[in-house]
Structure 1
């Protein structure tokens, strides 16, 4: 990539300006003590050692602009340390510069905190004084922009270290990259780059980010979503599909205004997508090839005279992230408004529940055959003629059966115990007992806890839009490995504050809750409301499946998140939240992003290579990393709406470690990791996860 910046240090005015910046930086350095020399290096591959004899170093790129005769070289002759250094030779130049720069992507660019200062360090040799340390920053609204030149490097024939403290990081900046620029005739060699947080930690702590060290931090993006984010799907390329359809707006439905957008978190940009039907309150799930199967949607809003309620569409489409376009597939056998969608171990999809074309409950079992790329006819799929409710949470078990957790939408739970196990092959439905207040689990959320191999499900919160009691703090846990699984009461959700800062009482909980599986094996719980489309609850906590306890006091989203809200994991380890549709019909278009506490605890491990992106069941897959790691896992990208994503799962990868080469052992059971694209995370010895790499299972 060619990056441009102001021409360095040519005029007296520029020299004065830079001198002022450096004096200011020196003053700030004296006022803000730095960390010790043991501070974590936030750079990926700062030593340039992850390269073979011919490749350019991982996380670095050849960059520059203008007209010059130049060469880039990875030299193995007398580097400062290790095997490699970078060498740039400029033999003639009429304009511009050349530089070896860090890659501007989430995996390589170090995360920074606004207001903090950082010590940038490099070992170098140069034959020309036309050499300067150049920094770019990622602004969440503008993307990557030039920030500043830190210092001019004096000529030296011996390896010399230069360390400069940056100015305070500007607001809305989440990452920076930097390198050394040469803009005159000569030769520049560099090695052993480092970046450390120079902002002083609070006394008695090892983290300088204050409350964020234990609570994490939210950032509301300085732009709005162009669509109502009622459905959110993380795509195989890291983008986010936001589907509104008519967006719960009868006027938009009447005018045929249906909306979809693709959001790119790395740049903060949106792409509008032509939407073929009202996919409002459809079902969705990723197919094994990474395309998104979308089923059903809204055929009609309720009639003013009460003659009918919402009606479900039979239509079904596949969204392709490679083309950002929908493709029609054959119709379902019955209308589906609020259907579930669960991918099976063979890649097929089962859809259950929802409302049909006549507003009555859909009792058909609808089955998408992945090999044939079509919905089976009503007589081809096995039928029980059972109504499973609206958005019933149907979680695939390790033996291929489906666990209906009792989480649902709109009113009471199903008759009986409120939870059950369903065998598609035989049609058997076995009640599961123990679910507390099964008629007050409307818009609760259920997740298969990390790791999927443990087969434990957590169900959180809930209420009832009809009777409209205070939503509950109840949670329930179940071990599906047992011969006769039974729900057991879990710890109560922590209490928070209501709109206006009024504390909740000890008995009040929340519905519309979101639960997100994180790379460190914990579950982040956020968002919700006390009543039907009203009274947002500002509370967030972290659930640890090892201890079965919540840690209260996580940072709370400044934006209310109740009905039609979602939260989901991004490949860079952050959590994104969208939506809020209160009873007055308004819709909050703001986007929030949460950085969990682990992103404030030092450098991130780097996955340097993945031997193959195609992983077979039962295989061992080689990766290389840049340092010690303690765990590795696959996380299935989310497809979430209405506090429901039954396909969310965290698959543990037992490791075989030989230095920085790691063998990751994938389960042989496709019911634990249904075929598809997954985010591969590794976690360092400091508890910080990498940015994900994408691999395909199956």
Structure 2
């Protein structure tokens, strides 16, 4: 997979000059050789023949005022890319309430800052049927590591035994223990009123006994922190806490209960907020919040257009135990979803029939032995059927997953991954499961060049998969970024090399397909900035774009592409669309490609759907499958390709 770039003696002599080479060698032979090596490599990768075989990379010129810590990236049906940072894993920006979103237009390389109302850092997102992007969850509080916790903190359950009214307690409400220690709430909390349950009893002969009333207290949870610093506020004993400011009967009815309040590590905490981003108005629009706070959730679009929000850390910093929710874009409200536990950012793919396939890929938080088993989950019946056969099954965290093209084949591929948490383990394993089989199981695919976490994987219009970047250790530790890229071809079940990227990408990196057929890569959040792990890393704000071989033409950027002329902008599922084209006989394939919404190596939106194709003298006609579990409603890029895999520029098509 590696490309040797050793320059010939003749070339090195021409490059440096015989005398100059001798002088440099006397001064610093290794530096001279390195310079020659790098110069030759730069020369080689600039050659048209090299580009036609391997493609090429170029850095995007991003003005300084628009550079940001890209945590999320989504392609909109306007052709623009929404880059969401929120606080961007920057505690200072979080404390300042400074949250970023950048809108980039690849067509003319222009940028726009979007007012960002919440910290969408580590939120979830999904494409809605009308083309809006649902963004839900994010950050309420940054983590505090072991040894750095100055104030004891923990979960307070607030109880309300009053059946006549509920209560809302603002952030800063104080709770006092029996010993007089005080703790302050870090968020608003709303406690519902108590519920009356009336029961009737029967005596001998069916005689009705007096009515009995049972009261169930209303309850809500909130994160509290000790008013005073130090270990004196730590408690491991369950206790009842009075709410400072309540008097008389209210104080009797409403109170707090905590099992323990400690100085242990405090994890990130999620928010309940949800917004739709409107690509036309180019702004966030608030919708009803979720019932549960979520940080690191997956949002997956279902066949009926609703969106299922799964997993995440709650407002206390604990992994949700299975409380999933459904968003209805027609009402812009949430309702209770099927209950099932998953680790955070689980990779869930809509399959034919409406079931969801969980590949096992996830982004971290959660026990090592819980919720990691791949399987088919039917959200309607809430049944789960395990899928086996996966090697290195304990290394699915930070792995990549995607539905291979075309989606009709119903094959899902998992690539790379690592051990749970800050493990240094990484696997080169790839595996593929055919979900059309009666008893589907993973089968091992071709191996990656080396063990890889955080691998970016992007579907291309020619039915190949482009993969790039990643690192062989947790968050690029030990300068372990992998400056390699390759294509996976589902037809031959093999990899072939692509040009090497120049920017390393690990944690908090993204890649997606653009409407012109190129691939753009963002982000990277290395833990350290050197091989010895002595210097803190800095967030990678450079943006790099890959131009595949199919767009290289003569190597100068000009390429003879198939052309789609005028045609409709929308279609009913199961219908046909016709586009004018000057050379219909040249077009051999047509694909509907759903735009990406990607974060933390998780992109459950992208899929490539094969369209039946016919042509006449000056047009081509394509038929969209009728199955809504194969083609969820929404905007798609329509690509056509020739016999050499050269794609057209995409047309945007709304499937209803």
> Scaled by the length of structure 2, what TM-score is found?
0.70
Instruction: Report the Cα distance in structure 1 between the residues aligned to 2:369 and 2:297, rounded to whole angstroms.
Output: 15
Matched residue SS, 2:94: helix
Aligned to 1:443: 398
Match of 2:639 among 669, 675, 681: 681
- Displacement of 1:340: 0.6
- Structure with greater proportional strand content: 1
Which ranges in structure 1 are unaligned for 5 or more consecutive residues? Answer: 1-201, 496-507
Aligned to 2:288: 330
Matched residue SS, 1:577: strand
Instruction: Map residues 561-580 of structure 1 onto 2, 5 A cutoff.
Output: 561-580=505-524
Q: Does 1:283 align with 2:124?
A: yes
Which ranges in structure 2 are unaligned for 5 or more consecutive residues? Answer: 1-43, 150-263, 528-535, 554-558
Aligned to 1:248: 89
Aligned to 1:222: 61
Aligned to 2:577: 621
Aligned to 2:27: none
Aligned to 2:500: 556
Cα-to-partner distance string for 1:281-325 (whole Å, 9 max, x where unaligned): 000011011110001001111134145211011111111111111
Instruction: Report the Cα distance in structure 1 between the residues aligned to 2:371 and 2:569, rounded to whole angstroms.
Output: 45
Matched residue SS, 1:212: helix
Instruction: Report the Cα distance in structure 1 between the residues aligned to 2:654 and 2:498, rounded to whole angstroms.
Output: 33
Instruction: Map residues 376-387 of structure 1 onto 2, 5 A cutoff.
Output: 376=335, 381-384=336-339, 386-387=340-341
Cα-to-partner distance string for 1:152-171 (whole Å, 9 max, x where unaligned): xxxxxxxxxxxxxxxxxxxx
Matched residue SS, 1:354: coil
Matched residue SS, 2:394: helix
- Displacement of 1:208: 7.6
State whether residues 368 and 420 of structure 2, in contact with CA within 8 Å, keep that contact through their aligned partners in structure 1: no
State whether residues 312 and 354 of structure 1, in contact with CA within 8 Å, keep that contact through their aligned partners in structure 2: yes
Instruction: Map residues 654-673 of structure 1 onto 2, 5 A cutoff.
Output: 654-673=612-631
State whether residues 353 and 390 of structure 1, in contact with CA within 8 Å, keep that contact through their aligned partners in structure 2: yes
Q: Does 1:483 align with 2:428?
A: no
Instruction: Report the Cα distance in structure 1 between the residues aligned to 2:283 and 2:587, rounded to whole angstroms.
Output: 39
- Displacement of 1:441: 1.5
- Displacement of 1:371: 2.2
Match of 2:101 among 260, 270, 277: 260
Instruction: Report the Cα distance in structure 1 between the residues aligned to 2:422 and 2:266, rounded to whole angstroms.
Output: 22
Instruction: Map residues 57-456 of structure 1 onto 2, 5 A cutoff.
Output: 209-223=48-62, 225-303=66-144, 304-305=148-149, 306-362=264-320, 363-376=322-335, 381-384=336-339, 386-410=340-364, 415=370, 418-456=373-411
Cα-to-partner distance string for 1:456-490 (whole Å, 9 max, x where unaligned): 00100011353523411100100111122111111
Aligned to 1:691: 649
Aligned to 2:526: 582
State whether residues 216 and 596 of structure 1, in contact with CA within 8 Å, keep that contact through their aligned partners in structure 2: yes
State whether residues 506 and 524 of structure 2, in contact with CA within 8 Å, keep that contact through their aligned partners in structure 1: yes
- Displacement of 1:370: 2.2
CA RMSD, Structure 1 to Structure 2 (Å): 1.7
Instruction: Report the Cα distance in structure 2 between the residues aligned to 1:357 and 1:438, rounded to whole angstroms.
Output: 30
Aligned to 1:608: 565
Instruction: Report the Cα distance in structure 2 between the residues aligned to 1:219 and 1:664, rounded to whole angstroms.
Output: 34
Q: Does 1:649 align with 2:488?
A: no
Cα-to-partner distance string for 1:195-247 (whole Å, 9 max, x where unaligned): xxxxxxx9xxxx98121111000001233552211100001011000000000
Instruction: Report the Cα distance in structure 2 between the residues aligned to 1:302 and 1:413, rounded to whole angstroms.
Output: 20
- Displacement of 1:270: 1.0
- Displacement of 1:414: 5.1
Aligned to 2:235: none
Aligned to 2:36: none
State whether residues 342 and 371 of structure 2, in contact with CA within 8 Å, keep that contact through their aligned partners in structure 1: no
Instruction: Report the Cα distance in structure 2 between the residues aligned to 1:223 and 1:327, rounded to whole angstroms.
Output: 27
Matched residue SS, 1:211: helix
Matched residue SS, 1:645: coil
State whether residues 403 and 412 of structure 2, in contact with CA within 8 Å, keep that contact through their aligned partners in structure 1: yes
Cα-to-partner distance string for 1:585-634 (whole Å, 9 max, x where unaligned): 51111110000000024401110121x21111111111122212010111
Instruction: Report the Cα distance in structure 2 between the residues aligned to 1:371 and 1:484, rounded to whole angstroms.
Output: 37
- Displacement of 1:383: 3.0
Matched residue SS, 2:52: helix
- Displacement of 1:450: 0.4
- Bigger shift: 348-357 or 458-467? 458-467
Aligned to 1:593: 545
Distance change in 2, residues 1:421/1:276 (3 Å):
same
State whether residues 417 and 433 of structure 1, in contact with CA within 8 Å, keep that contact through their aligned partners in structure 2: no
Instruction: Report the Cα distance in structure 2 between the residues aligned to 1:528 and 1:246, rounded to whole angstroms.
Output: 23
State whether residues 242 and 262 of structure 1, in contact with CA within 8 Å, keep that contact through their aligned partners in structure 2: yes
- Structure with greater proportional helix content: 2
Instruction: Report the Cα distance in structure 2 between the residues aligned to 1:354 and 1:570, rounded to whole angstroms.
Output: 29
Instruction: Report the Cα distance in structure 1 between the residues aligned to 2:392 and 2:323, rounded to whole angstroms.
Output: 27
Aligned to 1:96: none
> Scaled by the length of structure 1, what TM-score is found?
0.66
Instruction: Report the Cα distance in structure 2 between the residues aligned to 1:454 and 1:269, rounded to whole angstroms.
Output: 38
State whether residues 294 and 319 of structure 1, in contact with CA within 8 Å, keep that contact through their aligned partners in structure 2: yes
Matched residue SS, 2:622: strand
Per chain length, whose mean CA-contact separation is higher, i.e. which structure has more relative contact order (CA < 8 Å, sep 6+)? 2
Matched residue SS, 1:609: coil
Matched residue SS, 1:590: coil
Matched residue SS, 1:667: coil
